[in-house]
């Protein structure tokens, strides 16, 4: 889960988390249209699942949550250990 510069939250799926984060921040080609206008983004939380199907199911479930529920989910999880974006 990413936090955008405007404070909004973005949820997605990635095989290579660092590559995808750099795409969202415009350091590489690609990235979601949503995050292009809300840079920089920073990584708040990630989890590893068994396969792409499980990842897509988890993404769908998280995207259906309201913001308050997403924030509660973040409070229950250990902080993400991956490096965050440069500002």
| pLDDT score, position 37 | 95
Domain with 19 in it: 2-76
How many domains does the chain fold into?
A: 1
Q: Is 82 within the bounds of a domain?
A: no
Residue 76 — very low, low, confident or very high, per pLDDT cuts 50/70/90? Answer: confident
Q: Is 29 within the bounds of a domain?
A: yes
In the predicted model, is pLDDT for residue 77 greater than 90? no
pLDDT in tens, 5-62: 999 999 999 999 999 999 999 999 999 999 999 999 999 999 999 999 999 999 999 9
pTM of the model: 0.85
Instruction: Please provide the DSSP assignment of 32-77 as one string.
Output: -HHHHTS---EE------SSHHHHHHHHHHHHTS-HHHHHHHHHHS
């Amino acid at each position: 889960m990413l936090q955008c510069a405007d404070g909004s939250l973005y949820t997605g799926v990635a095989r290579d988390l660092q590559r995808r984060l750099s795409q969202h921040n415009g350091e590489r080609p690609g990235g979601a249209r949503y995050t292009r206008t809300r840079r920089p983004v920073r990584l708040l939380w990630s989890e590893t699942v068994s396969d792409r199907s499980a990842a897509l199911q988890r993404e769908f479930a998280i995207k259906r949550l309201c913001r308050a529920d997403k924030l509660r989910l973040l409070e229950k999880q250990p902080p993400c250990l991956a490096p965050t974006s440069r500002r």
